[in-house]
Amino acid sequence: MVAGVCAGYAKHFAKDVRIVRIIWTIAALIPPFFPGVAAYLVSWLLMPAPTDSAPANAAVSD
């Protein structure tokens, strides 16, 4: 929802974006050092921009 990172991972792994967001939120809240936040920021910087016409936050169905 912020940078499309979870939507990108959901599309890549063919999973529902809501599940990816829930898992990422849990990872972001686990101490120490909050690895989910760091991974999100790194992914945001390294992921390429979407090349298709579908919105980045569209849910991927199974």
DSSP string for residues in the chain: --SSHHHHHHHHHT--HHHHHHHHHHHHHSSSS-HHHHHHHHHHHHSPPP-SSS-TTPPPP-
Mean of pLDDT over the chain = 78
Q: 54 lies in a domain?
A: no
Residue 61 resides in a domain: no
Q: Specify the number of domains making up the chain.
A: 1
Residue 58 belongs to some domain of the structure = no
Say yes or no to pLDDT of 11 above 50: yes
Asked if the structure places residue 21 within a domain, the reply is yes
Predicted local confidence at residue 61, as pLDDT: 54
- For 38, the domain range is 5-46
Q: What is the model's pLDDT at position 18?
A: 94
Query: pLDDT tens across 15-44, in order?
Result: 999 999 998 888 888 777 677 777 788 888
